[in-house]
């Protein structure tokens, strides 16, 4: 490989990496907001904040990396045209088509990373994140409850205190719970107990040898009850949406399924790396410009192209899921024209027109 090709590959990779870092930081900010909302609703324990954020960040890679590749290449190529580097390269016989090797050294590895994320890493991360939340919902320890400390009830107005916890976090001793419900205060104490489950949603605390006091503050209609065994309903788990369940399924399992939602998810995973290849080819002709031309317009054009392509893919995924279009058509009606246009424009970039006849 020639020295100039190694230089161009380094420049392309550095620009793409810088844009990818910025976009990932923005994406992590959005994920953090969504995760904090789920923690406030009691859907995700607060102790799993960082682990859930790291696992969910893998799922945004197939969406953000194509845009990072497109904008990074576009900025680098636009800078080279602005500083007349492309003119010097063309003068020594290295036109836009001759730069396919350093371009492929950046586009192909990024497309491979996107393919690995979409087909393997993202579903695996979704399954691990779901299993961690399921385990946390069955254990007080993972949910953030510590023996000897008062804690606020997740998703409810009240506090809870336990004196001792078992090693697996499912059994406890010396429980105190105070909760407010419909303007009344409910205080429960118990000598010991454990957590029980019914199905995948309902959760109960089985309490033994305790007292329950209930009444309205400032009133005299308090009621006290002593019990040998009592069950206290814990807020139910939210039922997992069908789309979230499909995102966690392995790609090999989706290949064996014939239903429309599974086919839509499979086509979506295959579409993101092909979209990156199309945008990588499109960056070279779209980055062409004169030295005095502003480069911000190219970035706006790149964002519009990416948004429109991604919107068509999302729309096509929805049509596939509800059976509006045939499963055999998939998302190829978006990808094939885009790949063909990118390849045609890349091959025509920099060609000289034939001189016309003199009148």
- Tens of pLDDT, residue by residue over 226-266, are 888 887 766 555 555 566 778 888 888 888 888 888 889 99
The residue with greater pLDDT, 61 or 145, is 61
Q: What is the mean pLDDT of the chain?
A: 81
Q: pTM of the full predicted structure?
A: 0.76
C-alpha span between 275 and 313 (Å, rounded): 10
Q: Tens digit of pLDDT for each residue in 15-44?
A: 999 999 999 999 999 899 988 887 776 677
The pairing of strands 171-181 and 202-215 is unpaired
C-alpha span between 158 and 152 (Å, rounded): 6
C-alpha span between 50 and 354 (Å, rounded): 61
Question: Which SS3 state, helix, strand or coil, does residue 288 take?
Answer: coil
Per-residue pLDDT averaged across 291-306, rounded?
78
pLDDT at residue number 348: 81
Burial class (CB in 10 A: 0-12, 13-18, 19+), 147: middle
> What is the secondary structure of 34-87 as a DSSP string?
HHHHHHHTTSS-GGGHHHHHHHHHHHTHHHHHHHHHHHHHHHHHHHHHHTTHHH
C-alpha span between 119 and 272 (Å, rounded): 10
Q: Are 39 and 50 in contact (CB under 8 A)?
A: no
169 Rama sector, left if φ>0, alpha if ψ -120 to 50, beta otherwise: left
pLDDT at residue number 113: 95
Per-residue pLDDT averaged across 277-288, rounded?
88
Per-residue pLDDT averaged across 75-97, rounded?
77
pLDDT at residue number 201: 57
Rounded (10°) CA dihedral 281, 285, 287, 290:
160
C-alpha span between 226 and 213 (Å, rounded): 9
Per-residue pLDDT averaged across 77-88, rounded?
79
Quickly state the pLDDT bin for 194 (edges 50, 70, 90).
confident
Per-residue pLDDT averaged across 67-79, rounded?
90
Per-residue pLDDT averaged across 100-118, rounded?
92
């Amino acid at each position: 490989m020639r020295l100039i090709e190694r230089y161009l590959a380094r420049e392309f990779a550095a620009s793409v990496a810088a844009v990818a870092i910025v976009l990932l930081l923005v994406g992590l900010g959005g994920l953090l907001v969504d995760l904090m909302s789920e923690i406030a609703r009691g859907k995700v324990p607060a102790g799993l904040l960082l682990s859930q954020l790291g696992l969910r960040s893998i799922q945004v890679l197939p969406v953000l990396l194509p845009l990072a590749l497109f904008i990074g290449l576009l900025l680098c190529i636009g800078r080279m045209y602005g500083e007349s580097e492309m003119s010097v390269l063309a003068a020594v016989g290295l036109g836009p088509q001759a730069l396919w090797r350093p371009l492929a050294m950046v586009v192909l590895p990024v497309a491979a990373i996107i393919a690995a994320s979409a087909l393997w890493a993202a579903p695996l991360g979704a399954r691990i994140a779901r299993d961690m939340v399921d385990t946390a919902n069955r254990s007080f320890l993972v949910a953030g409850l510590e023996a000897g400390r008062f804690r606020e009830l997740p998703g409810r107005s009240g506090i809870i205190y336990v004196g001792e916890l078992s090693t697996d976090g499912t059994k406890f001793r010396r429980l105190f719970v105070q909760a407010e419900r419909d303007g009344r205060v409910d205080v429960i104490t118990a000598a010991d107990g454990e957590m029980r489950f019914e199905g995948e949603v309902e959760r109960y605390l089985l309490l033994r040898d305790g007292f329950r006091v209930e009444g309205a503050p400032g009133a005299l209609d308090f009621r006290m009850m002593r019990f040998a065994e009592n069950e206290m309903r814990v807020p139910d788990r939210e039922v997992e949406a069908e789309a979230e369940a499909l995102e966690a399924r392995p790609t090999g399992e989706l290949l064996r399924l014939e239903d429309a939602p599974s086919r839509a998810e499979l086509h979506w995973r295959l579409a993101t790396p092909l979209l990156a290849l199309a945008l990588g080819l499109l960056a070279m002709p779209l980055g062409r410009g004169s030295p005095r031309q502003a480069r911000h317009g190219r970035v706006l054009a790149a964002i519009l192209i990416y948004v429109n392509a991604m919107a068509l893919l999302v729309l096509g995924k929805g049509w596939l899921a509800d059976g509006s279009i045939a499963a055999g058509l998939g998302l190829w009606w978006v990808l094939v024209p885009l790949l063909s246009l990118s390849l045609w424009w890349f091959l025509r970039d920099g060609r000289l027109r034939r001189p016309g006849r003199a009148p």
